[in-house]
């Protein structure tokens, strides 16, 4: 009993110092000057532009990465082919590549002196220091999430039901839509939630390729760091709080959809 209470105390104290107290304090700190300054900095054109750009990037990234993730998961779990292990490792790769490196590699491809940089600039569609580069950076960084969540679910459900369906005459697509998809849907939803959170919150990769032009290529995360450096703490904390609220909603959805056995 004493051991159990001791362990409980250590676990909770660690979580409190690292996680709970800091996150609580940021809320308190944001509203330390009252509600009006927060509202003002929330509604400045620059802040609104940052939010809109963040949402735009997310809306492009999430659907594409979701379709990709489901397809890749099916490939890896349900097919046999040469180089499968390699492919499976490659999907996970973005997860272990530092965000800064993600941005840097994009500069090497699409930057002024990059492989295809001058081509796109000549066409009038510069990629680096503009929105397309930020979308590419976000896609790269959030690529693995859906596949990672769907792969274990696919493995767990096995193939018996799919076999039964095809025995009963269902075609490949029919089997997928009627049998496989319903079985993996919570895995997909969970992956989508993680992809969305990462897309909204991506900082390093976007910072490298954005140029950080206020009102044009500034996302919410870039705004937090920029305004903090400018000593406009209210603006920094307000943007951070916006992101924190999105994170809490994400967290709520994660817990709602994650098929954990202790729930």
Binding to another protein, residues 216-235 (CB under 8 A): 220-221, 224-225, 228
Of 33-41, 42-50, 78-86, 121-129, the segment contacting another protein by CB under 8 A is 78-86
Residues in Cβ contact with 36 at an 8 Å cutoff, skipping those fewer than 6 apart: none
Q: Which of 78, 125, 182, 185 binds another protein (CB under 8 A)?
A: 78
Per CB under 8 A, 126 contacts another protein: no
Three-state secondary structure call for residue 159: coil
Instruction: Supply 236's token pair.
Output: 């920094």
DSSP string, 131-183: HHHHHHHHHHHHTHHHHHHHHHHHHHH-SHHHHHHHHTT--HHHHIIIIIHHH
In this structure, what token pair is assigned to residue 79? 């097919």
| Contact residue for another protein among 118, 212, 216, 250 (CB under 8 A) | 250
Closest to 129 (Cα-Cα) out of 44, 9, 209? 209
125-129-130-135 Cα dihedral, nearest 10 degrees: 110
* Residues 1 to 20 in contact with another protein, rule: CB under 8 A: 3-4, 7-8, 10-12, 14-15, 18-20
Contact yes or no for 130/217 (Cβ under 8 A) = yes
Residue 61: in which H helix or E strand, if any? helix 45-78
Among 31, 100, 178, 182, binds another protein (CB under 8 A): 100
User: Among residues 105, 131, 195, 218, which is the contact residue for another protein, using CB under 8 A?
Assistant: 105
Exactly one of 53, 128, 184, 200 binds another protein (CB under 8 A); that residue is: 200
State the Cα–Cα distance between residues 155 and 162, nearest whole angstrom: 12
Tell me which of 42, 49, 75, 183 binds another protein, using CB under 8 A. Answer: 75
State which of residues 26, 52, 59, 213 lies at the interface with another protein (CB under 8 A).
Answer: 26
Stretch that binds another protein, among 39-47, 106-114, 121-129, 210-218 (CB under 8 A): 106-114
Of 38-46, 76-84, 118-126, 210-218, the window that binds another protein (rule: CB under 8 A) is: 76-84
**Residues 34-63, interacting with another protein (CB under 8 A):** none
Q: How far is the CB of 104 from another protein (least distance, A)?
A: 6
51, 149, 202, 218: residue in contact with another protein (rule CB under 8 A): 202
Residue 109 in the binding site for another protein (CB under 8 A): yes
Task: Name the residue nearer to another protein (CB basis): 51 or 77.
Answer: 77
Q: 99 CB contacts (<8 Å, ≥6 apart)? A: 141, 202, 203, 204, 205, 207, 208
Shortest Cβ 39–another protein spacing (Å): 20
DSSP letter for each residue of 191-204: HHHHHHHHHHH--H
The beta strand positions in 112-246, using DSSP E, are none
């Amino acid at each position: 009993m004493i051991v159990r209470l001791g362990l409980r105390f250590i676990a909770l104290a660690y979580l409190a110092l690292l996680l709970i107290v800091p996150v609580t304090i940021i809320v308190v700190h944001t509203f330390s000057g009252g509600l009006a300054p927060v509202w003002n900095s929330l509604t400045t054109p620059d802040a609104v532009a940052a939010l809109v750009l963040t949402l735009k990037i997310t809306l492009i990234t999430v659907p594409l990465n979701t379709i990709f993730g489901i397809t890749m998961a099916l490939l890896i779990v349900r097919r046999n082919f040469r180089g499968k292990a390699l492919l499976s490792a490659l999907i996970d790769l973005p997860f272990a590549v530092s965000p800064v490196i993600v941005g840097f590699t994009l500069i090497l491809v699409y930057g002024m002196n990059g492989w295809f940089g001058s081509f796109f600039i000549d066409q009038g569609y510069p990629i680096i220091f503009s929105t397309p580069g930020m979308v590419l950076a976000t896609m790269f960084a959030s690529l693995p999430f859906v596949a990672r969540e769907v792969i274990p679910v696919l493995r767990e459900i096995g193939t018996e039901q799919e076999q039964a369906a095809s025995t009963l005459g269902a075609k490949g697509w029919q089997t997928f839509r009627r049998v496989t998809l319903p079985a993996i849907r919570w895995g997909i939803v969970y992956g989508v939630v993680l992809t969305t959170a990462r897309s909204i919150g991506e900082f390093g990769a976007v910072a490298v390729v954005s140029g950080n032009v206020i009102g044009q290529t500034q996302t919410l995360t870039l705004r937090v760091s920029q305004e903090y450096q400018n000593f406009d703490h209210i603006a920094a904390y307000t943007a951070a709080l916006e992101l924190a609220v999105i994170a809490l909603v994400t967290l709520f959805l994660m817990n709602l959809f994650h098929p954990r056995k202790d729930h």
